């Protein structure tokens, strides 16, 4: 292993440790602040109405959930419910609750916290998915521009297309082979399905085969011109159907180049 590789790996470990420490710190703060707020309200003689205290706790839960850490949102929810019960309901400084309305408030704090937390995480997943879709589109457009560039040799474009397909499908390797015949093996079809001997494979559940190469045909001028060999040997890759269709679209860009050059 080279010195650069050692430094890169060491740097990656440091980043992971830093992120883990940050997540832990955020979760701890999210758990402490609501409980401390309830203790502060109790220490000042409880001049704030319970409704106002609940609104303040709900805002803290929303703020914790907005961090995108499930642990922070859940910690804030539990801390708010326990702090409200312990400091702001009779009997004070006890986890017992004698008033049915106080029980409802404590339960609602938990439920609202869980709901807000999941909604915040769902929103982040949607934004991440949108970002990936934009990345796919940018990759297709960049490849199309490379194919359309005048005087561009086919080998650099082929390597660029293979690299983008590898990234989109999270593969270990993707190589183009010029051949008028398609060897045996699983085939990635135009609709994003993967079939072996005419039988569809459940890629969403089981992932791409790791014991054999998946073939992505490239056709131009109505005939077979080559194929991409897709390899996922070291880990199970489960690209979505959308990702698999993007890979087919990228291969189509090469088909256009081969159709012009034939």
Q: Which domains does the chain have, with CATH numbers?
A: 3-129 (no CATH), 151-261 (3.30.450.40)
Which portions of the chain are predicted below pLDDT 50? 1-12, 150-153, 260, 262
Instruction: Give the pair of three-digit tokens for residue 248.
Output: 């087919």
Instruction: Give the pair of three-digit tokens for residue 58.
Output: 């709900």
pLDDT digits (tens, 9 = 90+) for 47-67: 667 778 888 999 999 899 888
How far is Cα 167 from Cα 200, in angstroms, rounded to an integer?
Answer: 23
User: What value, to the nearest 5°, has the Cα angle with vertex 242 and ends 236 and 247?
Assistant: 75
The answer to whether 77 and 61 are in contact (CB under 8 A) is yes
**What letter does residue 189 receive in the DSSP assignment?**
-
Give the per-residue pLDDT at 3.
43
pLDDT digits (tens, 9 = 90+) for 154-168: 677 788 889 889 988
Rounded (10°) angle between helices 50-65 and 100-148 = 20
Give the per-residue pLDDT at 47.
64
DSSP E strand boundaries for the chain: 173-178, 187-188, 194-196, 199-200, 214-220, 223-231
Is the backbone of residue 107 left (phi > 0), alpha (psi -120 to 50) or beta?
alpha
**What letter does residue 66 receive in the DSSP assignment?**
T
Helices vs strands, H then E, count in the chain = 7, 6
User: What value, to the nearest 5°, has the Cα angle with vertex 155 and ends 150 and 160?
Assistant: 85
Residue 85, CA distances (Å) to 99, 104, 115, 194 in order: 11, 11, 20, 56
């Amino acid at each position: 292993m080279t010195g650069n590789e050692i430094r890169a790996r060491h740097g990656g470990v440091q980043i992971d440790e830093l992120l883990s420490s940050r997540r832990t710190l955020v979760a701890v703060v999210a758990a402490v602040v609501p409980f401390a707020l309830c203790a502060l309200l109790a220490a000042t003689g409880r001049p704030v109405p319970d409704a106002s205290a609940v609104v303040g706790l709900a805002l803290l839960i929303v703020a914790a959930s907005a961090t995108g850490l499930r642990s922070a949102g859940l910690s804030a929810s539990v801390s708010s419910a326990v702090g409200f019960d312990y400091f702001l309901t009779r009997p004070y400084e006890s986890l017992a609750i004698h008033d049915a309305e106080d029980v409802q408030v404590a339960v609602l704090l938990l439920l609202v916290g869980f709901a807000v937390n999941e909604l915040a995480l769902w929103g982040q997943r949607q934004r991440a998915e949108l970002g990936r879709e934009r990345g796919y589109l940018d990759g297709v457009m960049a490849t199309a521009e490379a194919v359309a560039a005048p005087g561009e040799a086919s080998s650099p474009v082929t390597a660029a297309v293979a690299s983008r397909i590898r990234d989109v499908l999270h593969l270990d390797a993707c190589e183009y082979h010029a051949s008028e015949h398609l060897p045996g093996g699983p085939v990635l079809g135009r609709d994003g399905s993967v079939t072996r001997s005419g039988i569809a494979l459940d890629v969403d559940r089981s992932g791409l085969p790791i014991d054999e190469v998946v073939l992505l045909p490239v056709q131009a001028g109505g005939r077979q011109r080559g194929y991409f060999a897709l390899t996922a040997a070291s880990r199970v890759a489960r690209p979505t159907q959308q990702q698999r269709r993007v890979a087919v679209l990228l291969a189509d860009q090469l088909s256009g180049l081969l159709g012009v050059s034939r």
